[in-house]
Amino acid sequence: MSRISVLGLGAMGTALAATLVRKGHSVTVWNRTQSRAKPLVSAGAMIAATPAEAVAASELTILCVVDYAAAGAVLAEAQDALRGRDLVNLTNGTPREAKDLADWAETKGAAYLDGGIMAIPPMIGDRGALILYSGSNALFERHKPSLDALAESRHLGEDPSLAALYDLALLSGMYGLFSGFLHAGALVASSGGKVTDFLPLLLPWITAMSGTLPDLANKVDSGLHDRSVVSNLAMQRVALENIARASREQGIAPDFIEPMLRLATRRIAEGHGSDDISGVIETIRRQT
């Protein structure tokens, strides 16, 4: 069993610390509001008075706070204790923020691993939870048994920005699903229907359409958007326009659907109406 410190006891930090305690690790916790640590102390954790004291107590420190501004403030208080220590940052942020913090940690003599938690707090420690990591592979391998106590652990590479990038990419897919569901639900409800009654139609349809993703992914990777096209972009633009028009007729704001309609229209205007919908990614890429 390892000695592990957890900095930050919000909902997720508390779940991380509680899981480590439950699975037999020696856990030291710190939080700016110390009263949040009381249940963990009762369960067997030790409490540190300062971030530096918490870092000094363990070979591995896990940081999980609200954002990178908070992460920087906490680590600034612990910087003199970081040399020779292993730091895992599970704070949600951008790839650039992850890279900048990794560079800062290196100047302080700490090994650094960034992480993206693909789970909600109740899932931590149970099957189905996943945490993506990037940065020091040596650190990852050194502490993999402890990290596996929290969730399935997957190392993406030495570049510390990758976990944040993949985390946000996965969330993008999730929010795209949510936005489609909410717009579909609004359409059904506009005629007096119940969204719960609509689900038996929607769920199989989404499952069927997800089967097209491998083909679209291959087209994105190869750039061959005109290969084996079943429903071309010009045809799909008609459907997008009809959704937007019907939404207005039903008194629903077309805010979710209009961005896709605009991108499809632009791509067609550039002469790619016969391509698959995967070609829209080229319009997005040119904006980066």
pLDDT tens track of the chain, all 288 residues?
799 999 999 999 999 999 999 999 999 999 999 999 999 999 999 999 999 999 999 999 999 999 999 999 999 999 999 999 999 999 999 999 999 999 999 999 999 999 999 999 999 999 999 999 999 999 999 999 999 999 999 999 999 999 999 999 999 999 999 999 999 999 999 999 999 999 999 999 999 999 999 999 999 999 999 999 999 999 999 999 999 999 999 999 999 999 999 999 999 999 999 999 999 999 998 754
Report pTM.
0.92
| Predicted pLDDT of residue 265 | 97
pLDDT at 159: 98
**Of the candidates 250, 125, 272, 264, which has an alpha carbon nearest to the alpha carbon of residue 186?**
250
pLDDT attached to residue 1: 73
By the 10 Å C-beta count (0-12 exposed, 13-18 middle, 19+ buried), 53 is classed as: middle
Reduced DSSP (H G I as helix, E B as strand, rest coil) percent helix, strand, coil of the chain, to 5: 55, 15, 30
Q: Are 139 and 69 in contact (CB under 8 A)?
A: no
Helix (H), strand (E) at residue 214: helix 213-222
Query: Which domains can be identified in the chain, with CATH numbers?
Result: 3-159 (3.40.50.720), 166-285 (1.10.1040.10)
Other beta carbons within 10 angstroms of residue 255's beta carbon come to 11
Residues 154 and 132 sit within 8 Å (Cβ to Cβ):
yes
Residue 287 pLDDT: 57
Token digits of residue 199:
């689900």
Contacts of 249 by beta carbon, 8 Å cutoff, 6+ apart: none
With tokens 């993949």, the residue in question is 166
